[in-house]
Amino acid sequence: MCTYVTETMPVAGSAKGPTGWIRVTDASVYFDHPVHATADHTLNIDLRRPADGPAARVGVELTADSARALAESILRVLAQSAGHGAA
């Protein structure tokens, strides 16, 4: 399967890559062939700073189960942190 399903959005924060920290401004989320992971298809996230060129990117390729568990964990942690700036 090659879904072509891609979502992009602005984000605010930082991500660390091999050359150091990147103040990221954009994210892409898609389900497609990975470059490096061994599953046929993975949930892929690119945290990017396009202003610094295409290499200013931290890429993540997770199995669908891992991605779902991570997403649920993120939402759970944010919910538990309501009142501490995560509302």
Partner 1 sequence: MDTSICAETVYLTGHGDAEIEMYVARPQTDERRGGMVFIHHLPGYDRETKEFVRRAADAGYDAACPNLYSRVGRDVSPDDAAAKVRADGGVADEQVMGDVRAAVDHLRGLPSSNGKVAVIGHCSGGRQTFLAAATLPIDAAIVCYGGLIVGETPPQLPSMVPLLDRAPDIGCPVLGLFGNDDQFPTPAQVDEIDKALTDAGKAHEFHRYDGAGHAFFSPDRTAYRVEAALDGWDRIWTFVGTQLAG
List residues near partner 1 by CB under 8 A.
1-8, 26, 28, 30, 32-33, 35, 38-40, 46, 48, 50, 53-55, 57, 59
CA dist list (Å): 45 to 34, 81, 87: 11, 24, 24
> Token pair 């996230």 is at which residue?
45
Q: How far apart (Å, rounded) are the C-alpha atoms in residues 12 and 25?
A: 6
Q: Which is nearer to partner 1, 3 or 80 (CB)?
A: 3
* Nearer residue to partner 1 within complex by CB, 19 or 83: 19
6 beta partners: 30
What CA–CA distance (Å, rounded) separates 37 from 60?
A: 9
CB nearer partner 1, residue 54 or residue 83: 54
We find the least distance from the C-beta atom of residue 35 to partner 1, in angstroms, to be: 5
* Cβ 48 to partner 1 shortest distance, Å: 7
State the nearest-atom distance from the C-beta of 81 to partner 1, in Å: 29
Cα–Cα distance for residue pair 76/74, rounded to 1 Å: 5
